[in-house]
Chain A
């Protein structure tokens, strides 16, 4: 008799538990198995990892300068005849995808951009000119640009494609907007802005403008050397001491 009663009690308890489970299921679903939850959790994080990889390697939108920096430390070449100053900055393509440079601009107060150009250096060794494309005006680009090279690049050769591992040397030519009321820049000055995309018909069709902030014309107020085409330095005294005047003042003096 006792056994029958206890069995009946067990059945009632099991039914009650099942009923409670059903009621709870209407309010919130029962937890899935650990394996199921692990798979779903790992899938979500794996999707995030995949998106992160795609973005960091530059496949989502052009980001050639991510993951590394570069500075050229070149000088400014003054052309008195043309009344402009030429210099170059570098844009390495650290991403895994080729990018196309479509425009060059210059963020520098007190000067106006009058021309620009670009030379692409391969990942290994010096550049051979791609004369057929008309992108380059010099045959080889050395690490430190000579004044001849600085004067050489043609203007208006964009767009140009920079493959992964290659480095684009971006030339900018500018002249002071007003030499009568010169205000010399303080701190970092002269950041080249390059517009990039993946090319016509590429996916995704995203383009963006990248500021080459790693390689400004003036970094932290350090005065660059102003030179002439023959290589003679402008902003030093006869004793070889640097001239105290700011970059725009020295440039205006050299161009006048």
Chain B
């Protein structure tokens, strides 16, 4: 990974030039039979270049290429052991989240019927599922046998953000209310609203279970510095990794429920507020240096 990052970093201008030449050759080849002017060929070259750069970016991200992971981790800790551990987690989580988000986008295109908000919901769902899937590694049989165990009791409250807990409770309360109201309503689309509300409740329940799973998973006896690094990894996982994306998803589901249930001004306003909350939690869930630092030094 580092070698690839170094190579791409050193040879970026050469690679870009190669892409431009490739695009120009492709555009000339594709337009050779038509009476195209030089301007047409230049435009085609630019279009092909944009497409090639997009495909290259997509493939690099699908391969989990994370060139700035060193920079992000060095802001969190200076200890080499902790750095190694956090680099593994950050790269893994980012890769899973990107793959989930990309799959969610594709599925959204197919299932959203052109509704951009449903497409956004699908992307949020993909990111939340990807972030959660990245934490299931402990279910795999480890190649190295654990010879001793750490028996320190870990409490949920020490790892989970209080604001996230409040948001999850709020989502659960609002979703329950919407589910009941839409279930007893005779509105044509109230069935979809009920499904979306129950979906938000399920997301909250799964997130709570995931938090317990990640925080309580077994840990071998470790040196103090590595134990601290592992604690930080669990805290980041339980906050940025999957909880905040899941909260963003559940707010989005509530917004869709409102959209299907009520179409008056109040419904529109509540829907906007819920979408705002969803986007806010998504932005807070991004694994940027700023967000990571905020979790380490609140």
Contacts and interface: CB of A to CB of B under 8 A. Distances in A.
B99 interface: yes
A37 B63 contact: yes
Given A38-B63, A52-B106, A66-B113, A25 B99 contact: no
A187 interface: no
Contact of B111 (A22, A45, A55): A55
B177 interface: no
B266 interface: no
Interface residues of A, number: 29
Given A22-B144, A37-B63, A37-B64, A48 B85 contact: no
B254 to A, nearest CB: 25
Given A34-B63, A45-B62, A27 B230 contact: yes
Contacts of A25: 142-144
B107 interface: yes
Interface bin, chain B: 35 or more
Contacts of A52: 106-107, 109-111
Contacts of B103: 44-45, 47-48
Contacts of B110: 51-53, 55-56
A124 interface: no
B220 A24 contact: no
A140 to B, nearest CB: 34
A125 interface: no
A14 B193 CA distance: 59
A23 interface: yes
B64 A48 contact: no
Contacts of B233: 27-28
Interface in B82-116: 84-85, 88-89, 91-92, 95, 98-100, 102-104, 106-107, 109-111, 113
The 8 closest A-B pairs by CB, nearest first: A52-B110, A41-B62, A38-B63, A48-B103, A48-B106, A37-B64, A41-B99, A55-B110
8 contacts: A20-B81, A23-B220, A25-B143, A25-B144, A27-B230, A29-B142, A31-B88, A37-B62
Interface of B: 1, 4, 59, 61-65, 81, 84-85, 88-89, 91-92, 95, 98-100, 102-104, 106-107, 109-111, 113, 137, 140, 142-144, 146, 219-220, 222, 226, 230, 233
